[in-house]
Amino acid sequence: MRSFSKGVNVKIFILSIWMLFLELFLIRWISTEIRIFAYASNLVLLACFIGIGAGAYFSNKKINVLFSFLVLAVTALAVKSVPFIKITDLLSVFYDSAIWSQSLDAGILPAVNGIILTLFMFSAITAIFFPIGQLLGKLFSASTNIIAAYSVNILGNLLGIWIFGLLSFSYTTPVTWLVLSSFFVIYFMKKNLKNICFFLAMLIFLLIVVSMPVNKAQFTSWSPYQKLDVNKIYAGNVFLGYTVNVNNANYMEILDISPEFIRSAPGLFEPRSDKNPMLSQYEIPYLLNKDPQDVLIVGSGGGNDVAGALRRGINSIDAVEIDPGIYNIGLMVHPEKPYSNKRVNTYIDDARSFFKKTGRKYDVISFGLLDSHTFASNYNNVRLDHYMYTTESFKEARDLLKKDGVMTVAFASTRPWIDSRLRGLIRETFNTEPLYFEISPYGTDVYNRGWIMYVVSNNMEKLRQTIEDNLQLKNYITDHPVALNKDKVALTTDDWPYLYLKDRSIPSTHLCIIISLLILFTVAGKTLFTEGKTLNFHFFFLGAAFMLLEFQNISKASLLFGSTWLVNAYMFTAIMALILLSNLYAYYFKVKRMIFVYALLAASIVILYFISLSTFNVYTSFFKGSIIAVFMNIPIFFAGLIFIYSFRKYPHKNIALGSNLMGACVGGLLESLSFVMGIKALLVLVLVFYLLSYVFDRPNIFKALKIS
């Protein structure tokens, strides 16, 4: 029996690696190719959880992991088909939230079509993970040492996270992820001639489909964060530079705006004069401060802002860019080679993280076009750029300015209320109304995109005088006014950082998807759960609370340490380490009264609620960051103790596991309440869910209250 148990644990370990690896593979790949899954960031994750949970619940049924491979092939074909690629456009009828490259002409019927396609994709992902969940439930039921089995499960999950993270950091593509996933399929499938032939046919088909490009590109790079398609751009026969598409949507251009280039194309550009000032958006920030020496550019991208600063003779430029893939493209192909200049110091880091680390003061701080398509984590709705546009972020930037320092913010406001919000944030931070005007890459209306630059200074009087003394700059600002938008909107904060959401409400797109999913869950539940079994609500509420707590921690980690993939990886490591520690404690010690563990859990959640993030000051080292990561996740230890003790004594492991994962899905859906309540307020809901888990673990309470 002992040797059988060891064999079970080995299978659990390998299956757990595969499960997390495949989750992250599909989350990243599908969210890249079908952008609506990026803007509803945890939708793919929820589908994975439901598939695993439902599979674990029905682990007594026949299992065939090749079914996962077959559904994966169908899913891959759908991902690359035009109707599914256009889902984002179909759901663009809603005004209350902003997404990139959306069509504003969609109507109600196209939106319904988009929701149907979204639900199909959701169901397909669920089906992929159903056999995997079945296998996991069966292995747990066969284990003779549930604490050891669960610990092995957590270790496998952790290894799967790090393997995928390291592969992403190594710029590998979905083809590599698919090939690696196929080895796990081989391990768990029944190896007969029929299955082997089917597997090889599906693998060849998948490799062909996954490697098919959605858009034509000169070259494609999968950075640690996103897919980058690069193409040359021309005006007639004149080579202008390169365009970079992010996740199949136009994102940035890498342009040659040097005086030499402009003189070489006289038919393309009019001569610069006082009456016709052709000022590039990338040079304007350095004209707003007389004799600037020290400049900080956050969101330096492909290097256009850096090249503009160099053309203006800046001596010292700190350029911060979070995505090393975008930086490398700029380093390789930018016509002016700005990143190779000795006056430029490049930092691959999150801008908020850099604000905390740097001890320098700057004459100019320039916020580049930071608008992001990418999320800080697969576990929350916070985009990479959300924490850049909050009152706290602007205050941190203000404190880095010299006495007469100038801050500029360039942004493409796709909604008028985003313009109102940005002006309000700057006004709140500097206690003065900013200057604002339209900008364009070449400074000419021919290439005008409707982008806006907001300008503010610690010394507004000197700023206005600087503009008055520069006739070209003065004329440019006068000739490019922005109509004042009077929409009243809530200002974004670190607790409510949703820049692209008009009001404190659940966006219509999210709401439609959530309602549709709830209908789908209800219909599926009545169809599937017909064997007299019911969900165990103790484990259900443990799962819901855990998911919301994890969302809290990942969001705070993004704020404290930056939204980099490494931060997310070691936050997950801290979470998994605390779960393993709780398992170790449960193995050697016995808790006589679980109410004391619940009391400690509640106390730790209350402490997290009332401790301000500003308490953590500057933590730059990995060691200090790890300590804070563990501290933030202390409730996980107590929650882990409750789960493992309950899991060990409950006879039906498959139902417990399935109920727990189903609860996690509900927690994932309720995460959208942060759009209304803010992030911190969700801790109250976490506390309520843990209380409910305690109540449902004490059936005598219901008897005393005469509740059937």
pLDDT average, residue stretch 391-420:
90
Burial class of residue 444, CB neighbours in 10 A (0-12, 13-18, 19+): middle
Whichever domain contains 601, its CATH number is 1.20.1250
Whether residue 454 contacts residue 409, with contact meaning beta carbons closer than 8 Å, is answered with: yes
Q: What is the pLDDT of residue 592?
A: 79
- The residues, ordered by sequence, that sit 6+ positions from 61 with a Cβ below 8 Å of its Cβ are 134
For the stretch 570-590, pLDDT in tens is 677 888 888 899 998 888 888
What ranges make up the beta strands (E) of 473-597? Answer: none
Residues 350 and 447 in one domain: yes
The better pLDDT of the pair 636, 416 is held by 636
Across the beta sheet with 435-439, the strand order is 344-348, 316-321, 294-298, 362-367, 401-411, 451-457, 435-439
Percent of the chain with pLDDT over 70: 84
Q: What is the pLDDT of residue 31?
A: 82
* Alpha carbons 178 and 183: distance in angstroms, whole number: 9
Among the candidates 181, 196, 215, a domain finishes at: 215
Residues 204 and 317 in one domain: no
Most confident of 286-300, 508-522, 647-661: 286-300
487 found inside a domain:
no
Burial class of residue 655, CB neighbours in 10 A (0-12, 13-18, 19+): buried
Helix-strand-coil percent breakdown of the chain, rounded to 5?
A: 60, 10, 30
In this model, does residue 522 exceed pLDDT 80?
A: no
Residues 290 and 206 in one domain: no
pLDDT average, residue stretch 203-220:
88
Q: What is the pLDDT of residue 34?
A: 83
Residues 326 and 189 in one domain: no
422 found inside a domain:
yes
Residues 47 and 110 in one domain: yes
Count of positions (residues) in the chain? 708
Kindly indicate the confidence band of residue 616, based on its pLDDT and cuts at 50, 70 and 90: low
Across the beta sheet with 238-246, the strand order is 219-222, 227-235, 238-246, 249-255
Half-sphere exposure in the Cβ direction for 320 (13 Å, CA): 22
For the stretch 253-303, pLDDT in tens is 888 888 888 777 776 666 555 555 568 888 899 999 988 999 999 999 899
In this model, does residue 380 exceed pLDDT 60?
A: no
Residues 176 and 324 in one domain: no
224 found inside a domain:
no
Burial class of residue 142, CB neighbours in 10 A (0-12, 13-18, 19+): middle
451 found inside a domain:
yes
Q: Among 102-106, 227-231, 257-261, 657-661, which is the least confidently predicted range?
A: 102-106
Residue 683 backbone phi and psi in degrees, to 5:
-60, -30
For the stretch 589-611, pLDDT in tens is 888 788 999 999 999 999 988 87
Average pLDDT, the chain: 83
pLDDT average, residue stretch 307-321:
93
Q: What is the pLDDT of residue 17?
A: 95
Strands 316-321 and 344-348: parallel
- The residues, ordered by sequence, that sit 6+ positions from 194 with a Cβ below 8 Å of its Cβ are none
Q: What is the pLDDT of residue 251?
A: 78
Range of the domain at 400: 275-479
For the stretch 44-80, pLDDT in tens is 888 888 888 888 888 888 888 899 989 999 999 998 8
Whether residue 242 contacts residue 304, with contact meaning beta carbons closer than 8 Å, is answered with: no
Residue 622 backbone phi and psi in degrees, to 5:
-65, -35
207, 164, 214: which is closest to 32 by C-alpha? 214
Burial class of residue 615, CB neighbours in 10 A (0-12, 13-18, 19+): exposed
For the stretch 419-475, pLDDT in tens is 889 999 999 999 999 999 988 876 655 445 568 899 999 999 999 999 999 988 898
In this model, does residue 95 exceed pLDDT 70?
A: no
DSSP 491: P
Please state the domain count of the chain.
Answer: 3
Most confident of 35-49, 83-97, 330-344: 330-344
> What region, left, alpha or beta, does residue 187 occupy, with left being phi > 0 and alpha being psi -120 to 50 degrees?
alpha
Residues 316 and 441 in one domain: yes
279 found inside a domain:
yes
Half-sphere exposure in the Cβ direction for 306 (13 Å, CA): 30
Residues 69 and 185 in one domain: yes
Whichever domain contains 366, its CATH number is 3.40.50.150
307, 215, 295, 299: which is closest to 256 by C-alpha? 307
pTM over 0.95: no
pLDDT average, residue stretch 159-179:
91
Residues 441 and 566 in one domain: no
Residues 666 and 577 in one domain: yes
Kindly indicate the confidence band of residue 333, based on its pLDDT and cuts at 50, 70 and 90: very high
DSSP 3-state of 61? coil
DSSP 3-state of 401? strand
Residues 20 and 113 in one domain: yes
In this model, does residue 386 exceed pLDDT 60?
A: yes
Among the candidates 413, 447, 479, a domain finishes at: 479
540 found inside a domain:
yes
Among the candidates 450, 479, 508, a domain finishes at: 479
| Axis crossing angle, helix 653-670 with helix 108-142, rounded to the nearest 10 | 150
* Alpha carbons 582 and 588: distance in angstroms, whole number: 10
The better pLDDT of the pair 39, 700 is held by 39
Most confident of 203-212, 369-378, 614-623: 203-212
For the stretch 104-144, pLDDT in tens is 455 677 778 888 888 888 889 999 999 999 999 899 988 88
DSSP 3-state of 453? strand
297 found inside a domain:
yes
Percent of the chain with pLDDT over 90: 37
Handedness of CA 413, 418, 424, 426 (dihedral sign): negative
pLDDT average, residue stretch 213-229:
85
* Alpha carbons 664 and 698: distance in angstroms, whole number: 21
489 found inside a domain:
no
In this model, does residue 334 exceed pLDDT 80?
A: yes
In this model, does residue 3 exceed pLDDT 70?
A: no
* Alpha carbons 22 and 83: distance in angstroms, whole number: 24
Q: What is the pLDDT of residue 563?
A: 52
Structure tokens at 624: 């200090």
